[in-house]
Amino acid sequence: MGRMKKIYYTGALVCSVVYLVWRLLFTLPLNQSFFEIIYGILLWVSEVLSIATAFILIWNKKTYQVTPTPVVTSADVFPDVDILIATHNETVDLLYQTINACTFLKYPNKNKIHIYLCDDQNRSEMKVLAQKFNINYIGLSHNQYAKSGNFNHALKYSHSSLVGTFDADMIPYTDFLTTVVPYFFASYGKRVHKKIGFVQTPQSFYNEDVFQHNLYANRVIPNEQDFFSKEVNVLNANHSSAIYTGSNTVFLREAIVEAGGFPTNTLTEDFQLGAQINSCGYSSISTTEPMGSGVTPTDTGSVFKQRTRWARGMIQSTKNLHLLTNKGLTWAQKLIYFNGYLYWWSFLGRMLFVFAPILFALFDFRVVNTNFWLLLIFWVPGYLLLLLVKQDISSSLTNQRWGEIQELFFAPYLVLPVILETIGIKNSQFKVTKKNISGNNKKDFLYMIPQAIMLGLTVVSLIKFNYGKFGSEIMYGSVITFWLLNNLINTLLAVLVFIGEPKNREPKFDVEGHVHISDIQLGTNLSISYLTASEIAINLPQGTTLLWSKKYAMSIETAEYTAHVQAYLKNFDEHNSCTLQIESNDELNYQILLQIIHDGFNQRLPQKRDKWVTTFDLLFENINKRIERLNKALPKGNKG
């Protein structure tokens, strides 16, 4: 780190500490009403947690050292590995894709790969599906412990030294095992001191999440979960504490056994198992590149239910682990896991940050007892220096603004569950997140009510607070105005997430390959615009046409695979771009087609944030899109 950076990093830390001490000693509204005092204290605690988590991330980034990519010189060290695929109530079509990809996994000796379909509903159709792929089927009736019970039961019937776990929708890439398994057996010299208990690969998704889809940002921002999976968890691995996220993972079986198996006393068995393995003296690693992709929830109701389960489970697991007094964990591991716990309290902080200026503007509800000049002296230096530090360590996946918008989107639905779970009012029922890609739920508009209320109150507060002010009055009120404007932008974008595009389309995939149509002599192979299991888009050379009534024999070719299918014309435009409906010749070619589609990250979705598109660009784009939709929906006579 250069000298100048050391100065402003140190300055940010010192100024932040001075600000927090000043806030505690001189600005709490101790002479105000009881509610103002409580609100003021909670707001100060939220500021402490916000600044603390920021510096924990800075510490994690600045101490990070890249884990060397393991190299194994002999194929003999690759042991037997069990692949456990968990299913509860998912469809045959969904499991078909996951199992199919597992059969394509590369390995020096593929006879050492043992695939198990672990079905806790004991469904006959799942047993038939397992037989079709010639894999093992483990049925379970009357399971009382969700995925933990399912996997614990499966471990009794599988015996390999390595165990891979996959959710029903998570489709592994061909190189998953050959990338992950070497970490267990390669030599790292002094870099890794403990035996590796598990290797986590990033969670990845091949369809648009609610933010990408509903904000027309599927080319602008990566998946909302990428920041944790591809960055934070990789940093955690530097301290032998990568978090197990439930899928796309390989374990040392002995580590699972020593940790007591998959825990059944929490809703987040994944996080708790990983921490228990760490407390037994094993390290954990998270790789930087995804090795599988799945389905992310596409309606807001499912997203909120998923996050509520995660929040409650994290609090349960923190208690179960006796985290701060757990002698098996290092101080760095405790800090990382406790930071994960604090994350779920950031949503209460976000609500406090939103309502503080609203309450002051509308009701003169004072939660900070100070004046304009003192605030400038104590708050501005630390705030600006911390912004500078955050910009220096800024991620290609997210930034502070996006973090605030996402917090505001989730906050109204997470604050109460976090508080209830903390005081012991539990909800131990495990509900599987929906794994289908469907249109927006009609209830999405109802979920929007809290954010819409906050938006309305923010607008009213801005008008009331600034109405009739002139000159110095505007300057003295500028901090409140700035605060309200910042919240206005965040809240407006959070509301727009609920009223995005009306349908979630079937995911389209960019594929590096080409197409050959055997009935037409083109003299060249055709590039693929996009591909799905039922549709392909290509660009024909000028002067070339396809017949509407004819079914064409087509080969879809990549560097690894060739699928022979039949297709007929579906759409054709004046630019010679055409879409064809695909029909597979047989099941083998259908399986190859699925592998062509899913063997790699969906390149139609961004892996990094487009830094050239600002929040304001996206906001104006969304307003324009919705005006266009409104104009199209109105009768022609009403359009102005």
Mapped onto helix, strand or coil, the DSSP state of residue 105 is coil
| DSSP-assigned beta bridge partners for residue 286 | 200
Instruction: Report yes or no on whether pTM surpasses 0.75.
Output: yes
**Is the predicted pLDDT of residue 358 greater than 90, yes or no?**
yes
Q: Residue 224: what pLDDT?
A: 94
CB atoms within 10 A of CB 616: 10
Using CA atoms, how far apart are residues 271 and 311, in angstroms rounded to an integer?
11
Q: Residue 191: what pLDDT?
A: 44
**Higher per-residue confidence, 69 vs 307:** 307
Count how many residues are written for the chain.
640
**Higher per-residue confidence, 44 vs 64:** 44
Using CA atoms, how far apart are residues 368 and 43, in angstroms rounded to an integer?
9
Q: Which residues contact 552 (CB under 8 A, 6 or more apart)?
A: 517, 518, 519, 520, 546, 566, 567, 568, 580
Q: Which two tokens stand for residue 450?
A: 């809290």
Q: Residue 71: what pLDDT?
A: 79
Using CA atoms, how far apart are residues 156 and 253, in angstroms rounded to an integer?
11
Using CA atoms, how far apart are residues 98 and 508, in angstroms rounded to an integer?
18
Least confident of 69-83, 152-166, 200-214: 69-83
- Secondary structure letter of residue 42 according to DSSP: H
Mean predicted lDDT score pLDDT of the chain: 91
What one-letter code names the amino acid at 435?
A: K
pLDDT (tens digit per residue) in 409-441: 999 999 999 999 999 998 766 666 666 665 555
Mapped onto helix, strand or coil, the DSSP state of residue 571 is strand
What one-letter code names the amino acid at 569?
A: L
Pairing of strands 577-584, 562-572: antiparallel
Q: Residue 95: what pLDDT?
A: 98
Using CA atoms, how far apart are residues 107 and 328, in angstroms rounded to an integer?
35
* Continuous segment of H or E residues that includes residue 596: helix 587-598
Looking at the chain, the whole-number percentage of residues with pLDDT higher than 90 is 73
Question: What is 79-343's CATH topology?
Answer: Spore Coat Polysaccharide Biosynthesis Protein SpsA; Chain A (3.90.550)
Using CA atoms, how far apart are residues 510 and 214, in angstroms rounded to an integer?
21
Instruction: Say if residues 532 and 506 touch (Cβ distance below 8 Å).
Output: yes
Across the range 139-155, mean pLDDT stands at 95
Using CA atoms, how far apart are residues 155 and 299, in angstroms rounded to an integer?
34
Sign, CA dihedral 269-409-302-237, equals negative
What one-letter code names the amino acid at 357?
A: P
CA distances from 152 to 125, 155, 530, 555 (A): 22, 5, 41, 43
Looking at the chain, the whole-number percentage of residues with pLDDT higher than 70 is 94
The runs of H, that is alpha helices, within 63-184 are 92-103, 124-133, 146-155, 176-180
**Higher per-residue confidence, 44 vs 544:** 44
Q: Residue 637: what pLDDT?
A: 59
Q: Residue 190: what pLDDT?
A: 44
- Secondary structure letter of residue 544 according to DSSP: -
pLDDT (tens digit per residue) in 536-577: 999 888 777 788 888 999 999 999 999 999 999 998 877 778
Architecture per CATH, 514-598: Beta Barrel (2.40)
CB atoms within 10 A of CB 359: 18
Instruction: Say if residues 380 and 311 touch (Cβ distance below 8 Å).
Output: no
Q: Residue 393: what pLDDT?
A: 75
Under the banding of pLDDT at 50, 70 and 90, the label for residue 69 is confident
φ and ψ at residue 565, rounded to 5 degrees: -135, 175
Under the banding of pLDDT at 50, 70 and 90, the label for residue 396 is confident
Domain ranges (residues) in the chain: 3-63+345-424+449-498, 79-343, 514-598, 610-640
Full DSSP string of 447-516:
HTHHHHHHHHHHHHHHHHHHTT--THHHHHTHHHHHHHHHHHHHHHHHHHHHT--S-PPPP-B--S-EEE
Smallest Cα–Cα separation from 386: which of 44, 5, 16?
Answer: 16
Q: Which two tokens stand for residue 248?
A: 């796309």
Q: Which two tokens stand for residue 324?
A: 């701060």
Q: Which two tokens stand for residue 544?
A: 């070339």
CA distances from 93 to 96, 100, 123, 168, 566 (A): 5, 11, 14, 10, 21
Under the banding of pLDDT at 50, 70 and 90, the label for residue 475 is confident
Using CA atoms, how far apart are residues 270 and 254, in angstroms rounded to an integer?
16
Under the banding of pLDDT at 50, 70 and 90, the label for residue 459 is very high
Measured at the CA of 523, the angle between CA 519 and CA 526, to 5 degrees, comes to 75
